[in-house]
Structure 1
Amino acid sequence: MANQYVDLETLKFLLYKVNNLQDVLDQERYAEYDQESVEMMLNSVKDFSDKELYPFFREMDEQPAHFKDGEIVVHPQVLKFMKAGGEMGLIASSFSYEHGGMQMPAMAAHASAFIQDAANNHLPGYIGLTVGSAELIAHFGSQELKDTYLPNMLSGKWGGTMCLTEPQAGSSLSDITTSATPDGDTYKIHGQKIFISGGDYQGADNIVHLVLARIKGAPAGTKGISLFVVPKKKPTADGSLTSNDVTVVADFEKMGQRGYCTTHLFFGDKENCEGWLVGEANKGLKYMFLMMNGARIGVGRGAAAIASAAYQASLNYANERPQGRKLTSTGKKDVNQEQTLIINHADVRRMLLLQKVITEGAQSLVLLTAKYHDLSIASATAEEREKYRLLLEIMTPLVKTYPSEAGIVSVNNGVQVLGGYGFCSEYILQQYLRDIRISAIYEGTTGIQSQDLLGRKVTMDNGKALQLLSEEITNTIKASMVHDSLKPYAKKLGDKLELTQQVLQSLMGFAMKGDYQRFLADATPFMEFFSTIVQSWLWLNIGLEAQNALVMGNKDYSSEFYESKIHAMEFYFKYELPKTLGLAEILMDNEKALTIGTDKEVFI
């Protein structure tokens, strides 16, 4: 049972070989790490996940977090996981040595977190939010804030959150009204926040909230937002904790990830909530985006992990479930034959292969984006750091969105593989489907990510990020042309790069005319179009690595393993990449089907 939620062999292949972790380990910042130490860490995390995460996965869904007597009650494993996360360095892994961290490459940290997410996606978010809020303090907080909060957060003694959303504002952060009134060296915080993941739970010593609020008299809109540290309990001079007037109002009961609490908080109900300004006033949103970008990679990683675990479950079922018989050469079934396993039916194999290409491609996307993050801070020259910063920028909306949206499709196919049993609570696929659905909403919805991609990232620095990404893709195309077996796929990808230019040329025409409503109206179809092409590049990379290994006689993995990757690449190019033609037709159609920006009203 312990091995059913993750394919560790594929994860390591994508980490070490396809995305070449060594490129990152060669940087001075990560000099104390090598592949052997990373391997030991991943194996240790897998053993831990087998014992402390996976066995509680169903139980946390059946015994969800809930609000009772003014507190959030969570499964006992939450506190145990937070403590272990501190002891094992799961929280401190990516922090620099100066902040008490382990200075581990993000590639390795995300690979570790992927295993945890696949084992039990209800738990890693508690650590993830603590990491994100601690990062903000480490990057922008005063020395006093760092000394006060980081040791307890990195040890897992205190949790952390990010508090952005408000009932009346939703994703429109320019409309937040939570206020901050100067009060000596601190501020009085007043307002409420909703959908706060890991916002409070029974038994936690303290929760450190990173809160966006508006100082009295600040400019309107996002330019007037500041960032504050607002702990549930204030540390005192003698080391004890005292109440800080942070009240839990409710816990949102969800269709999935039911063991991961999602709270409604009120700050300053008794006008006695104290907050400490982080960095400079009115720069809160800029600071928060550091955490949000990291969180977006984390959401994509979590979605990829859920989809991967679902694939393992449906693959296992297909290999055990006998039903029906194979077709004979006459096109008929011989009822005298024994029943065959459903994995031998062509349509089941198609669904399983779709799950495989989505999940493994999504894993590679997460690891590559993490690699760009590592190189953006650790490369030797400013020019290289800027190159990888731009690549990270354009990949971030993709890495959040593709695993989330395609992951839903993947898990949905997993349910279909099981047929009627997939719809029954006795089998785990229905839980994976419920759990993954939130991924397309977390940390900026698909629509928000799509507008960010088309409206900001594609056009940033006069298209420099897109140019750099195109160069990376072209390098893979050239390398693949060495193998006759890969030439057709390399050519198809090259044709799609040209199609991308045509699509963008068509869309940019609206932007150049000042018709930004029309320019962004089809941002979400563009996200699907562009993601599909980027995924074909990642699959060509996987196929290239596998083909090189076969030619060179590399024995790190079996020949069957390498051949399975090439076969999956071929499947992606046949069944997924052609979808871009229909999307391109939509994107280049000049009709205003949504009647955006016109006076015409159409009943919907």
Structure 2
Amino acid sequence: MSDYIAPVKEISFVLNELAGLSQVCELPRFEDSSEDVVDAVLEEAGKFASGVLAPLNSVGDNEGAKCVDNAVQETAGFAEAYQQFVEGGWVALPCNPEFGGMGLPESVGMATMEMWNAANISFGLCPMLGQGAIGAIESHASDALKAIYLEKMVSGEWTGTMNLTEPQAGSDLAVVRSKAIPEGDHYLISGTKIFITWGDHQMTDNVVHLVLARTPDAPEGVKGISLFVVPKFLVNDDGSLGERNDAYAVSVEHKLGIHASPTCVMSFGDNGGAVGYLVGEENKGLAYMFTMMNHARLNVGAQGVAMSDRAYQHAVAYANDRVQGKAAGDKEKGTIIRHPDIRRMLMVMRSMTEASRAVCYVASSSFDMAHHGTDEEQRRLANARGELLTPIAKGWSTEISQEITSLGVQIHGGMGFVEETGAAQYLRDARITTIYEGTTGIQANDLIGRKLIRDQGQEFNRLIDEIRATQAEVAALGDEMATIASSLAQGADSLQQVANWVIEHHMDNPQLPGAVAVNFMMAAGTVIGGWLLAKGAVIATAKLAEDESFYSAKIITARFYAEQIMPRADAHVKMAESGSAMTMALADDQF
């Protein structure tokens, strides 16, 4: 199996040149950050990912996590790796200095998150959920709860989880049944939660669960859900750990992939009630939890990028090593990277990975500016951009990772279908990314309903104007960039067309938005990805003399994407504009 090499230079390019890291680092919150500081962080993160996490990836896939006597035992080697992770301060990287964090931009945190997940996605899920829990507690909990939990969680000494889903309540949280009965200064929580990532393990002294439940007089539906902190071990007044709480992992799921990440069935209150502490106000739990969910959605988008990049690296290594046949125009047998169809697949993998990375990082950087900008209008516009891009970053990046990881198997030929070569693991691990933290359909409906229709395309049109501005820049560079310029012009027109069509026709019938949403999202992701690669190509043209190999590859990759990937957007637009009639035409019993 090939080793993982963190693409530090590529990540740095995207952060600095496309995601506007220099502007973010000028904000007062990030005044101690700089391009040099960030590059040093990325280098060290890359070393840790490659040297410590990557070697455990196949071990975790083969051994998995196990649940014995209501306790999860993580894969051998993970606890030692996690201790090194904590000692390196990696959990604290993007966290608030008030609670012991390093205070670096969230977009830098996403960059390191990509590396953790590319090296070992099962491991990477643990700190990803922890950082989301930190954000929810910091944003919504009382000062007393913050004082008890945040410093330990920011340091990584304690991990965090998100407990939403129940056996009868998948994405429909309106039917959550877990109960919270008030008792003095706390509540007694009872109920069963499923699909709880890293719901238990032995790597830390405590696990802090964020749990959705209903109080006795709560109204029905999502308006009656409250959020509670439920620790594995109760915390004494002096900060030491007290007795074991009534919250246990009763089993772990046997899954297609991410075997080393324990996906737990959690039982609360089997022995009288798990002690939980209310976060914020009663009946506002779903809104509070969305702080964590939105953070997780962006990072799952980065997981899609991570799986794509790992599969691409693996395929390139194999293509450079495997001797098979004589390529057209060659005089002797050579490695398969000489064959045009292998190169076509590698270029698809490379270009779509780079495009999705740019989409995710730009979305994350938008929130850095939205949360910490000094100008109110700047914050408003940045937040609107981040919110628009979030479902695309999550939905599109993970959908294309299915294609990219599948191409990785294809490049290996029959050996790709054999587990020992490792290519199949990336395909299996990537499959969950389109499902958890909101399926592709949920992301697409969010994009078309809340982000397009609700503001009548205002932010979407602003983005299209920026695409057209970049198209003019590209066109001015001459014939070499003509295919990029023409693809951007066509892409902007197609997106404008389908957005206007949706806004005009979404009231025609209630099923229309849902029927066309995924194609709308895939068109948007394709064009926005091409736009960001085009921006990168413009920058690369100006910097070509600094590093001819790196920057010429940026230009070639952008041109390939313009010629071979951007035409997909027109197809998605045509499918969207066909409406919902044939999607809904069959009777239920005809399926």
Which TM-score tier does this pair reach, normalised by the shorter chain?
A: over 0.9
Aligned length: 589
Q: Aligned to 2:425, which of 417, 427, 431?
A: 431
**1:587 match:** 576
Give the aligned residue type for 2:488: L
Contact 1:82 1:157 in 2 (8 A): no
**Distance in structure 2 (CA, Å) of the matches to 1:451 and 1:318:** 39
Q: Aligned to 1:567, which of 553, 556, 579?
A: 556
When residues 588 and 203 of structure 1 are mapped into structure 2, their CA distance, relative to the original with a 3 A threshold, is closer
User: How do residues 2-17 of structure 1 correspond to structure 2 at under 5 angstroms?
Assistant: 4-17=4-17
When residues 41 and 401 of structure 1 are mapped into structure 2, their CA distance, relative to the original with a 3 A threshold, is same
**1:264 match:** 265
Q: Aligned to 2:444, which of 438, 447, 450?
A: 450
Give the aligned residue type for 1:284: G
Deviations 1:284-342 (A, max 9, x none): 111111111110111111121111011011101111111111224xxxx8xxx431211
User: How do residues 210-359 of structure 1 correspond to structure 2 at under 5 angstroms?
Assistant: 210-238=210-238, 239-328=240-329, 337-359=331-353
Q: Aligned to 2:507, which of 512, 524, 538?
A: 512
Secondary structure (helix, strand or coil) at the match of 2:129 reads: helix
Q: CA deviation at 1:84?
A: 2.8
**Distance in structure 2 (CA, Å) of the matches to 1:147 and 1:189:** 22
Secondary structure (helix, strand or coil) at the match of 1:91 reads: coil
Matched, 1:577 2:571: no
**1:545 match:** 539
Q: Which runs of 5+ in 1 are unaligned?
A: none
**1:383 match:** 377
Secondary structure (helix, strand or coil) at the match of 1:274 reads: strand
**2:463 match:** 469
Contact 2:319 2:336 in 1 (8 A): yes
Q: CA deviation at 1:488?
A: 4.0
Q: Aligned to 2:403, which of 382, 391, 409?
A: 409
Contact 1:493 1:537 in 2 (8 A): yes
**2:157 match:** 157
Contact 1:5 1:308 in 2 (8 A): no
Contact 2:74 2:260 in 1 (8 A): yes
Contact 1:5 1:310 in 2 (8 A): no
Q: CA deviation at 1:132?
A: 1.1
Contact 2:181 2:188 in 1 (8 A): yes
Contact 1:121 1:302 in 2 (8 A): yes
Q: What TM-score does the superposition give when structure 1 sets the normalisation length?
A: 0.94
Contact 2:6 2:50 in 1 (8 A): no
Q: CA deviation at 1:199?
A: 0.3
Contact 2:101 2:155 in 1 (8 A): no
Matched, 1:398 2:399: no
Contact 1:91 1:156 in 2 (8 A): yes
Q: CA deviation at 1:482?
A: 2.5
Give the aligned residue type for 1:559: E
Q: CA deviation at 1:259?
A: 0.6
Secondary structure (helix, strand or coil) at the match of 1:263 reads: strand
Deviations 1:528-560 (A, max 9, x none): 11111111111111211111223xx3x1xx212
Contact 2:132 2:292 in 1 (8 A): yes
Q: CA deviation at 1:499?
A: 1.8
Q: CA deviation at 1:371?
A: 1.0
**Distance in structure 2 (CA, Å) of the matches to 1:591 and 1:242:** 56
**Distance in structure 2 (CA, Å) of the matches to 1:496 and 1:592:** 26
Deviations 1:140-186 (A, max 9, x none): 11111011111221222211101000000111011111111111221
When residues 106 and 327 of structure 1 are mapped into structure 2, their CA distance, relative to the original with a 3 A threshold, is same
**Distance in structure 2 (CA, Å) of the matches to 1:516 and 1:257:** 37
Contact 1:160 1:207 in 2 (8 A): yes
**Distance in structure 1 (CA, Å) of the matches to 2:287 and 2:50:** 39
Give the aligned residue type for 1:278: V
Contact 1:82 1:127 in 2 (8 A): no
**1:33 match:** 33
Q: CA deviation at 1:601?
A: 4.9
Contact 2:133 2:161 in 1 (8 A): yes
**Distance in structure 1 (CA, Å) of the matches to 2:84 and 2:135:** 20
**Distance in structure 2 (CA, Å) of the matches to 1:199 and 1:99:** 24
When residues 229 and 559 of structure 1 are mapped into structure 2, their CA distance, relative to the original with a 3 A threshold, is same
**1:18 match:** 18
Matched, 1:500 2:495: yes
User: How do residues 110-149 of structure 1 correspond to structure 2 at under 5 angstroms?
Assistant: 110-149=110-149
Give the aligned residue type for 1:267: F
**Distance in structure 1 (CA, Å) of the matches to 2:421 and 2:506:** 49
Q: What TM-score does the superposition give when structure 2 sets the normalisation length?
A: 0.96
Q: CA deviation at 1:591?
A: 5.8
Matched, 1:73 2:67: no
Q: CA deviation at 1:219?
A: 1.4
Give the aligned residue type for 1:579: R
**2:590 match:** 603
Deviations 1:84-104 (A, max 9, x none): 333222111222222221111
**How many percent identity over aligned positions?**
34
**Distance in structure 2 (CA, Å) of the matches to 1:430 and 1:519:** 35
Secondary structure (helix, strand or coil) at the match of 1:521 reads: helix
Runs of 4+ deviating beyond 6 Å = none
Is 238-247 or 367-376 further displaced after alignment? Answer: 238-247
Secondary structure (helix, strand or coil) at the match of 1:269 reads: coil
**Distance in structure 1 (CA, Å) of the matches to 2:588 and 2:163:** 37
Is 476-485 or 377-386 further displaced after alignment? Answer: 476-485
Give the aligned residue type for 2:407: N
Q: CA deviation at 1:214?
A: 1.2
Contact 2:457 2:499 in 1 (8 A): no
Is 359-368 or 309-318 further displaced after alignment? Answer: 359-368
**Distance in structure 2 (CA, Å) of the matches to 1:117 and 1:501:** 35
**2:205 match:** 205
**Distance in structure 2 (CA, Å) of the matches to 1:375 and 1:2:** 38
